[in-house]
C-alpha cells in the first residue's frame, strides 16, 4: 500500500514523479512546499535508518513551523506588565494556599519558546503510544507472513517501525504547533509540560483571549498569573505527581493494538487514486479496536487526577484573586472556554484518546471548596503530600466521608475501626495465645503482658 501510494508510477495519486504537495490536500494534509520537503527528508532518514528507536526530529521541525507562523515577539511593555502581575499574584497566592512558592522566576514566552520548552514532555507522553502502535504493526506483519518470508519480514518490520514512528512524530508536531497558538500559560493544558516549578504566560495568546471580554488587561493578567503560579507550586510541592500522570499514559499505551482484520480489508480494496478512505480510517481510529478494560481504567484514573489538579487550581486562584473586581466574569469566560473544548482536550485527545469532561472539573472544584471550608487550607493542601492521601473519585462524588475523616484527625480522634482492623486484632490475639477480649487469659498471671 505504501509503495503504491508514495512510490510514483502508474496509479499513484501523486503522479509518476512521486509526491506532489498539492495532491496531499486530498488526504487532509495541507502543508507548504518547505514543510513537505522537511517531512520527506525525515521519511528518507527513517526508511534508511538501521536503528530501532523513533526519531522525533520531525516533531520539533513541524511544531516550530506551525508555531512561528504569525508569531510575534515579546515587547518590553508586555514583559514589564506580566512581571508585575506575577509578583502581586504570588503574594496573594500565599494567602490562599499553604503550599510554598517555587523560588523560580516566571517566564514570558513566544509561541516558539513554548514549543522548545514543552516538546520534551509531549514527546515523553507520546512515546509510549508511538512505541505501542509500532510494536502492534510489526507484530501484525510478522504473524501474518508465511514462514518462507519471515527473514524478509524482519527487515521490512524495521522499516515499517521507523516510518510509522515518523508519521506519529509528524502528527505530534502538528498537534503541539497548533496548541502553541491557543495556550495562554504553561499550565493551561493541566499537565506539567513546563520544567518543574516554572510558571509562564504567552503574551500574544493572552492578548487574543482578552479581546471581546471587556475586562481590563491588568485584572485578566492577575487571574492567569495566579492560576499559573498555583500549577507551578503544586507540581513543585508534590514531586510524585508528574510521574503519576505520565504513568497513566504508559498504562494506556500498553493496551494498544491494531485491528488486523480491518487493516487487511482496507489494503485489499485500497485505491491509490482515491486516498480519502485511508485518510478517514486513520483520522477516525477505525484501525484501532475498542478500548480494553485496562485502558478504560487507566484513562479514568488520568481523567480523575487531571480533574483534581484543575479543580484545586480553580479554587486557589479564585481565593487569591478575590480582590479583582471582574473575577466572576473572568472565571465564567474560563469555564466557557473549557466547555467548548480547550487546549488540553484537543492535545490529550490526539495523543491518548482522552476526553476530559468539564463536568468532572466542576465537581472536583466543588469538592476542594467544601474541604477547605470545613477543615481549612492547610489540611486541604496537605492531601497533596502523598499519593495515598489524594481524594478518590468517590470523594469527588461525595466529599462528606473525606471531610469527616479530616475533622476526626484534627480533633485527634481515633480512626473508626473497620472489618480489616477487627480481623487483624483477632489474628494477633489468636497467635499470642490470648483472645480479643480486654481481660487476661485464664492461664496467665494478672498484670501487663509483653507485646
Mean pLDDT of 225-253: 89
Mean pLDDT of the chain: 77
Residue 79 has pLDDT above 80, yes or no: yes
- Give pLDDT, residue 448: 46
Are the beta carbons of 184 and 226 closer than 8 angstroms? no
How far is residue 13's CA from residue 20's CA, in Å, rounded to a whole number?
9
- Give pLDDT, residue 344: 56
Q: Which residue in the block uniquely carries the three cell numbers 512521486?
A: 18
Among 343, 353, 335, residue whose Cα is nearest residue 292:
353
Q: 84 or 277: whose pLDDT is higher? A: 84
**Interstrand relation of 107-108 and 200-201 (parallel, antiparallel or unpaired):** parallel
- Give pLDDT, residue 269: 64
How far is residue 204's CA from residue 208's CA, in Å, rounded to a whole number?
6
- Give pLDDT, residue 96: 96
Are the beta carbons of 180 and 115 closer than 8 angstroms? yes
Mean pLDDT of 24-53: 55
Q: How confident is the model at residue 248 (pLDDT cuts 50, 70, 90)?
A: confident
Residue 5 has pLDDT above 50, yes or no: no
- Give pLDDT, residue 287: 60
Backbone φ and ψ for 225, nearest 5 degrees, come out as: -65, -40
How far is residue 241's CA from residue 407's CA, in Å, rounded to a whole number?
25
- Give pLDDT, residue 80: 95
> Rg of the chain over CA atoms, in angstroms?
27
Mean pLDDT of 158-185: 80
- Give pLDDT, residue 114: 95
- Give pLDDT, residue 345: 61
Are the beta carbons of 215 and 330 closer than 8 angstroms? yes
Q: 279 or 320: whose pLDDT is higher? A: 320
Mean pLDDT of 197-206: 92
User: Above pLDDT 70, what percent of the chain?
Assistant: 64
Burial 61-83 (b: 16+ CB within 10 A, else e): bbbbbbbeeebeebeeebeebbe
**CA distances (Å), 426 to each of 38, 319, 345, in order?**
70, 48, 50
Our CA angle for 150, 155, 159, nearest 5°, is 130
CA 81 to chain centre: 30
Q: 356 or 332: whose pLDDT is higher? A: 332
Q: 393 or 357: whose pLDDT is higher? A: 393
How far is residue 394's CA from residue 349's CA, in Å, rounded to a whole number?
25
- Give pLDDT, residue 424: 65
Residue 337 has pLDDT above 70, yes or no: yes
Residue 9 has pLDDT above 50, yes or no: no
Q: 378 or 247: whose pLDDT is higher? A: 378
Q: How confident is the model at residue 193 (pLDDT cuts 50, 70, 90)?
A: confident
- Give pLDDT, residue 342: 58
Are the beta carbons of 199 and 232 closer than 8 angstroms? yes
Are the beta carbons of 238 and 384 closer than 8 angstroms? yes
Q: Which residue in the block uniquely carries the three cell numbers 503482658?
A: 449
Mean pLDDT of 265-285: 59
Are the beta carbons of 326 and 172 closer than 8 angstroms? no
- Give pLDDT, residue 352: 59
- Give pLDDT, residue 56: 81
Residue 394 has pLDDT above 70, yes or no: yes
Q: 241 or 151: whose pLDDT is higher? A: 241
Indicate the domain borders of the chain.
31-255+292-351
Amino acid at each position: 500500500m505504501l509503495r503504491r501510494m508514495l512510490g510514483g508510477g502508474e496509479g499513484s495519486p501523486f503522479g509518476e514523479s512521486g509526491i506532489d504537495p498539492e495532491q496531499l490536500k486530498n488526504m487532509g494534509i495541507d502543508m507548504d512546499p518547505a514543510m513537505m520537503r522537511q517531512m520527506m527528508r525525515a521519511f528518507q532518514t527513517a526508511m534508511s535508518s538501521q536503528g530501532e528507536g523513533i526519531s522525533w526530529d520531525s516533531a520539533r521541525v513541524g511544531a516550530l513551523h506551525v508555531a512561528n507562523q504569525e508569531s510575534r515577539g515579546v515587547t518590553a511593555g508586555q514583559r514589564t506588565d506580566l512581571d508585575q502581575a506575577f509578583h502581586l499574584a504570588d503574594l496573594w497566592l500565599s494567602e490562599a494556599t499553604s503550599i510554598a512558592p517555587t523560588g523560580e522566576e516566571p517566564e514570558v514566552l513566544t509561541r516558539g519558546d513554548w514549543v522548545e520548552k514543552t516538546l520534551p514532555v509531549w514527546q515523553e507522553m507520546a512515546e509510549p503510544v508511538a512505541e505501542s502502535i509500532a510494536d502492534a504493526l510489526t507484530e501484525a506483519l510478522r504473524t501474518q507472513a508465511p514462514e518462507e518470508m519471515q527473514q524478509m519480514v524482519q527487515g521490512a518490520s524495521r522499516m515499517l517501525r521507523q516510518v510509522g514512528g515518523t508519521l506519529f512524530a509528524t502528527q505530534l508536531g502538528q498537534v503541539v504547533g497548533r496548541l502553541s497558538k491557543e495556550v495562554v500559560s504553561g499550565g493551561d493544558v493541566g499537565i506539567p509540560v513546563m520544567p518543574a516549578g516554572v510558571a509562564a504566560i504567552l503574551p500574544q495568546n493572552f492578548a487574543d483571549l482578552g479581546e471581546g471580554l471587556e475586562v481590563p488587561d491588568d485584572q485578566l493578567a492577575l487571574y492567569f498569573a495566579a492560576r499559573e503560579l498555583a500549577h507551578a507550586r503544586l507540581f513543585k510541592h508534590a514531586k510524585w505527581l508528574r510521574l503519576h500522570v505520565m504513568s497513566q499514559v504508559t498504562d494506556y499505551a500498553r493496551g494498544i493494538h491494531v485491528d488486523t482484520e480491518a487493516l487487511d480489508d482496507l489494503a485489499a480494496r485500497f485505491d491509490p487514486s482515491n486516498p480519502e478512505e485511508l485518510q478517514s480510517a486513520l483520522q477516525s481510529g477505525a484501525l484501532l479496536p475498542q478500548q480494553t478494560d485496562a485502558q478504560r481504567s487507566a484513562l479514568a484514573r488520568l481523567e480523575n487526577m487531571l480533574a483534581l489538579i484543575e479543580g484545586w487550581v480553580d479554587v486557589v486562584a479564585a481565593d487569591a484573586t478575590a480582590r479583582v473586581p471582574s473575577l466572576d466574569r473572568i472565571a465564567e469566560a474560563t469555564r466557557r472556554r473549557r466547555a467548548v473544548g480547550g487546549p488540553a482536550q484537543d492535545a490529550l485527545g490526539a495523543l491518548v484518546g482522552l476526553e476530559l469532561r468539564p463536568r468532572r472539573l466542576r465537581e472536583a472544584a466543588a469538592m476542594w471548596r467544601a474541604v477547605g471550608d470545613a477543615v481549612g487550607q492547610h489540611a486541604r493542601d496537605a492531601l497533596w503530600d502523598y499519593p495515598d492521601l489524594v481524594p478518590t473519585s468517590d470523594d469527588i462524588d461525595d466529599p462528606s466521608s473525606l471531610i469527616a475523616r479530616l475533622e476526626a484527625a484534627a480533633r485527634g480522634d481515633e480512626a473508626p475501626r473497620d472489618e480489616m482492623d477487627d480481623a487483624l486484632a483477632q489474628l494477633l490475639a489468636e497467635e499470642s495465645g490470648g483472645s480479643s477480649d480486654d481481660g487476661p487469659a485464664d492461664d496467665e498471671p494478672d498484670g501487663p503482658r509483653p507485646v
